[in-house]
Amino acid sequence: MKTNRNSRTVLCAAACLLMGMPAAALAWTIEDLGDLAGGPSFSEAYGLNEAGDVVGYAATAVANEAFVWKRATGMSLLARPAGFASCRANAINDGGLVAGKCDSTLPGKRSAVIWQGGQARKVPFGGGDAVSNSAALAVNAQGEVAGTYREPQGTTTLDQAFTWDSRTATGMARTIMSLPADKGGSGRGAAINAEGYIAGNAMQNAAPNAHQPWLWSPTIAEPADAINAVGSLPDASARSGEARGMNDLPNVVGVYDGRGFLWTPRVPGATTGSNMPLPIDPYDINNRGQVVGVSQGKAKMYDVAANTVTDLGSLPEVSAAGWRALSMARAINDKGQIVGTGVNAAGEVHAYLLSPGPTPPPQPPVPARSRARGSAVR
């Protein structure tokens, strides 16, 4: 699932882990997650947990707002803190902890935020007002958050990858480590798994506008050995990329030189390993070796074990439900449920949940455009 593993699993060899059933052999159900009240009919999904709860953002009459969707209650707005103009939720764990970001009413300022029990809390950073731009991008089962923040260093500003334990009442977010000099000291933590490994990317000083995907281990004491480059593909010309998703092995997926990659550790838990190219532009991978992403503007799933690519928008169940297109598949959980964005039968851009297996219990209906939609309670 996207940037978080919400259940601790026993790590095994890659051949054991990367097993899945071809998508064509499954029955699927697609659910339109709807939108929020008062604005244009628009929503995008960014993450989900093992219960199938989904987070993302949707438009209202006044702003883009973070939401959480649950089958029993439908789409609900997550409280926007005072002083912020808009919010987006990026990830949710099995305990319902949501990680995201809110844009300030002041130009160029944003804050990493978590929501717990519907209440928003800013991720705390040391240094007072020095950190004016941050975002929480991932959260794991233990409530450890990963993301990025920007701080001044000398005459410039640098993006730094951070981790923060949301269970602490007073603890501050911290840089995961001083990244090597050839990465410019800047970074972005895009994914965190159940074991606390973080995958991301950093600027390379030696190559302007080039970014190196990396994997960081919380279990290796020596800083120089704790972080290693991943994702480098042969015959790369631009030599730039980013890590986007990770499972518990950890396998890492992302893009390098405009091509998708899958990185596999030499042994479970290692930060050194090997890369292989992928036939899609990936965003996430689950513990069954199912990768979701996009290719040629269409939502796709690649099954590593079966070596098959499935066009999710062409599934019979999706066509039968009237969807015109599925343009993005952004996250997948270990049950094989997928969230993303598409165009529904009414021509509205909406978040969807695509589930393998039996039809789930009925969800609250998506109200007609003439009525209020979703929840707008703050």
Distance spanning both ends of the chain, measured CA to CA: 28
Mean pLDDT of the chain: 84
For the whole prediction, is pTM greater than 0.95? Answer: no
User: Would the pLDDT of 177 be above 60?
Assistant: no
Q: Which of 181, 186, 177, 260 is nearest to 216 (CA)?
A: 177
Q: How far apart are CA 263 and CA 250, in angstroms?
A: 9
Q: Per residue in 3-44, pLDDT tens?
A: 454 443 333 433 344 444 556 557 999 999 999 988 889 999
Q: What is the pLDDT of residue 132?
A: 80
Q: 331 and 285 in contact (C-beta within 8 Å)?
A: no
Residue 300 CB burial class (10 angstroms; 0-12, 13-18, ≥19) = buried
Q: Which domains, ranges and CATH numbers included, belong to the chain?
A: 14-356 (2.130.10.150)
Q: What single string gives the DSSP state of each residue in 190-252?
A: EEE-TT--EEEEEE-TTSTT-EEEEEE-TT--SHHHHEEE----TT-SS--EEEEEE-SS--E
Q: Which of 57-61, 125-129, 269-273 comes out lowest in average pLDDT?
A: 125-129
Q: 350 and 42 in contact (C-beta within 8 Å)?
A: yes
Q: How confident is the model at residue 238 (pLDDT cuts 50, 70, 90)?
A: low
